Amino acid sequence: MLNRLKLMVGAGVVVILMAAAIGGSHLVRQREQAAWRAAEQSLESSAVAVENALNRQLLQVDGALASFETLFEVARVGADQRETASRLLRGLNFQTMAFRDLLLIGPDGSIIASARSGGTHRTLPLDVATAGRAPTNLIGPLRNAVTGDWSLYVARRIPAWNGIVPVAEVPLHTLMKLLAETGVDAGTQIVLERANGQLVAALPHDELLTGKLRSPALPEQAVNGKAFLIGERRSESSTLNVARASLYGDIRVVLSAPSATLLADWRKDRRRTMLAAAVATLLLGAFAGAIFLAIRQRERADAERARAAAVLKNAIEAMSDGFVMWDENDRLVTCNQRYRELYSVSAPFMAIGAPFEEIIRRGAELGQYPQATGDLDEFVKDVVTWHRKGSGSIERLLPDGRWLLITERRTADGGIVGIRTDVTVLKAALAELAAANTRANEAFEEARRQNAALVEQESRIRFLAHHDDLTGLQNRFAFRAQIAKSLLRAAGDQGPVALLFLDLDHFKDVNDTLGHPIGDLLLLSVAERLAACVQDTGCVARLGGDEFAVLSLDPGQPQQAEALAARIIEVLSEPYLIRDRTISISASVGIAVAEGSDCDADLLLKQADLALYQAKARGRGVCCVFTAEMDEQLRARIAMEADLRKAIDERQFELAYQPIYELKSRKLCGFEALLRWHHPERGLVGPAEFVPLAEETRLIVELGESVIRQACMDAVRLPGEPRIAVNLSPVQLIFGDTVATVRDILNETGLDPARLELEITETALLANDHRNLGTLKSLKDLGVRIVLDDFGTGYSSLSHLRLFPLDKIKIDRSFVRDMTIHSDSAAIVTAVAALAAELGMATTAEGIETLDQLDAVHRAGCTEAQGFLLGEPQPILQAAHTTIFGPISSERSQTTAAPRSRLV
Residue 891 has pLDDT above 50, yes or no: no
Quick one: pLDDT band at residue 889, thresholds 50, 70, 90?
low
- In sequence order, the 6+-apart residues with CB closer than 8 A to the CB of 463 are none
What is the phi/psi pair of residue 317, to 5°?
A: -70, -25
On whether the CB atoms of residues 540 and 549 are closer than 8 A, the answer is yes
- Span 306-327, average pLDDT: 82
Q: Is the pLDDT of residue 238 over 80?
A: no
Q: Are 395 and 430 in contact (CB under 8 A)?
A: no
Quote the CATH superfamily of domain 653-893: EAL domain (3.20.20.450)
Distances (CA, A) of 818 to 585, 856, 865: 43, 10, 15
Q: Give the pLDDT mean for 212-240.
A: 71
Could you tell me the CA-to-CA distances from 847 to 659, 808, 903 in Å, in that order?
12, 16, 12
Q: Is the peptide bond between 141 and the residue preceding it cis, with omega within 30 degrees of 0?
A: yes
- Single out the residue of 660, 741, 754 nearest to residue 708, CA to CA: 741
Confidence class for position 836, pLDDT limits 50, 70, 90: very high
Kindly report, residue by residue over 620-630, the tens digit of the pLDDT. 788 999 887 87
Q: Assess whether pLDDT exceeds 80 at residue 7.
A: no
- Coil, strand or helix: which one is 42? helix
User: What's the chain's Rg over C-alpha atoms?
Assistant: 49
- In this prediction, residue 828 carries a pLDDT of 92
Amino acid 597 reads S
The angle subtended at Cα 164 by Cα 161 and Cα 165, nearest 5°, is 110
387 within 8 A of 417, measured Cβ to Cβ: no
Q: How far apart are CA 240 and CA 244, in angstroms?
A: 14
pLDDT for residue 505: 85
Cα 171 from Cα 578, distance rounded (Å): 50
Q: Which residues contact 201 (CB under 8 A, 6 or more apart)?
A: 141, 150, 152, 172, 175, 176, 191, 192, 210
pLDDT score of 770 more than 50: yes
Q: How confident is the model at residue 903 (pLDDT cuts 50, 70, 90)?
A: very low
What's the CA gap between 34 and 531, in Å, rounded?
Answer: 52
Q: What is the mean pLDDT of residues 586-615?
A: 84
Neighbouring C-beta atoms of residue 622, cutoff 10 Å: 19
90-104 per-residue burial string, b: 16 or more CB within 10 A, e: under 16 = beebeeeebbbbbbb
- Cα separation, 516 vs 785, whole angstroms: 38
pLDDT band at 863 (very low <50, low <70, confident <90, very high): very high
Enter the DSSP assignment of 537: G
What is the helix (H) or strand (E) element at residue 276, kind and residue range?
helix 264-317
Asked if the model's pLDDT at residue 810 lies above 70, the reply is yes
Residue 472, pLDDT > 50, answer: yes
Integer Cα distance of 406 and 356 in angstroms: 15
Q: What is the pLDDT of residue 450?
A: 86
Around Cβ 351, how many Cβ atoms within 10 Å? Answer: 10
Mean pLDDT of all residues belonging to the chain: 83
The residue ranking higher by pLDDT, 803 or 399, is: 399
- Residue 15 to residue 8: CA distance in whole angstroms: 11
**Residues 121-143, mean pLDDT to the nearest whole number:** 71
What is the band of 768 on the pLDDT scale with cuts at 50, 70, 90? low
pLDDT in tens, 415-447: 999 999 988 888 888 888 888 888 888 888 888
Q: Are 48-262 and 319-422 in the same CATH fold?
A: yes
- Per-residue pLDDT at 97 exceeds 70: no
Going by C-alpha positions, the residue among 594, 562, 576, 556 that lies closest to residue 507 is: 576
Q: What is the mean pLDDT of residues 71-83?
A: 81
Q: Which fold has domain 470-626?
A: Alpha-Beta Plaits (3.30.70)
Amino acid letter at 413? D
CB atoms within 10 A of CB 300: 9
Tell me what the mean pLDDT of segment 206-235 comes to.
Answer: 72
Contacts from 295-299 at CB under 8 Å and sequence distance 24+?
A: 295/2, 295/5, 295/6
Contact present, 419 and 342 (Cβ < 8 Å): no
Position 574 confidence tier, pLDDT thresholds 50, 70, 90: very high
Say what percent of the chain tops pLDDT 70.
89
Contact, 729 vs 695, CB < 8 A? yes
Decide: 868 and 888 in contact? Cβ < 8 Å: no
Task: Tell me the DSSP string of 714-752.
Answer: HHHHSTT--EEEEE--HHHHHHS-HHHHHHHHHHHH---
Q: In 473-526, which ranges are E strands?
A: 497-505
Name the pLDDT band for 455 (thresholds 50, 70, 90). Answer: confident
Among 37-41, 540-544, 732-736, 880-884, name the one with the lowest average pLDDT: 880-884
Spatial distance between the Cα atoms of 307 and 895, rounded to a whole number of angstroms? 148
| Structure confidence at residue 796 (pLDDT) | 55
Instruction: Return the domain boundaries, the chain.
Output: 48-262, 319-422, 470-626, 653-893
pLDDT over threshold 60, residue 603: yes
**Structure confidence at residue 423 (pLDDT):** 87
pLDDT band, residue 661 (cuts 50/70/90): very high
Which pTM does this prediction carry?
0.43
- Per residue, the 3-state secondary structure of 87-115, as one string, reads HHHHCCCCCCCCCCEEEEECCCCCEEEEC
Segment 386-409 mean pLDDT: 87
Beta-strand pair 808-811/842-845? parallel
Q: Which fold has domain 319-422?
A: Beta-Lactamase (3.30.450)
DSSP 320: S
Helices and strands, counts by H and E, the chain: 29, 31
| CB-CB contact of 687 with 655 (8 Å) | no
**Does residue 736 surpass a pLDDT of 70?**
yes
The CATH class given to the 48-262 domain equals: alpha beta
Report the pLDDT averaged over residues 77-84: 80
Average pLDDT over residues 755-770: 76
How far apart CA 881 and CA 878 sit, in angstroms, is 5
- How many C-beta neighbours within 10 Å does residue 250 have? 12
Residues 6+ apart with CB under 8 A from 508: 546
- Residue 91 clears pLDDT 80, i.e. is over it: no
Report d(CA 311, CA 788) in Å as an integer: 119
Report CA dihedral (530, 534, 540, 544) to the nearest 10 degrees. Answer: -30
Question: Rounded to an integer, what distance in angstroms lies between the CA atom of residue 178 and that of residue 57?
Answer: 9
Q: Distance (Å, rounded) from C-alpha 871 to C-alpha 514?
A: 49
Residue 898, pLDDT above cutoff 50: no
DSSP secondary-structure letter at 474? B
Segment 93-117 mean pLDDT: 75
pLDDT of residue 902: 34
Residue 269: its pLDDT value, please? Answer: 76
CA distance 830 to 824: 10
Residue 810 and residue 867 in contact, taking contact as beta carbons nearer than 8 Å: no
239 in Cβ contact with 263 (< 8 Å):
no
Q: Is the peptide bond before 204 cis (omega within 30 degrees of 0)?
A: yes
The closest alpha carbon to 202, from 194, 211, 212, 192, belongs to 192
Note the pLDDT of residue 893. Answer: 46
> How many angstroms from the chain centroid is the CA of residue 178?
30
Structure confidence by residue, pLDDT tens digits, 38-72 = 777 887 788 888 888 888 888 888 888 888 888 88
pLDDT value of residue 764:
66
List the one residue out of 49, 155, 56, 146 whose CA is nearest residue 102: 155
For the chain, give the percent of residues with pLDDT over 90. Answer: 23
- In this predicted structure, what is the pLDDT of residue 494? 64
Residue-wise pLDDT tens digits, 137-171: 888 888 887 777 888 888 888 888 888 888 888 88
What does the alpha-carbon distance between residue 531 and residue 527 come to, in Å, rounded to a whole number?
A: 6
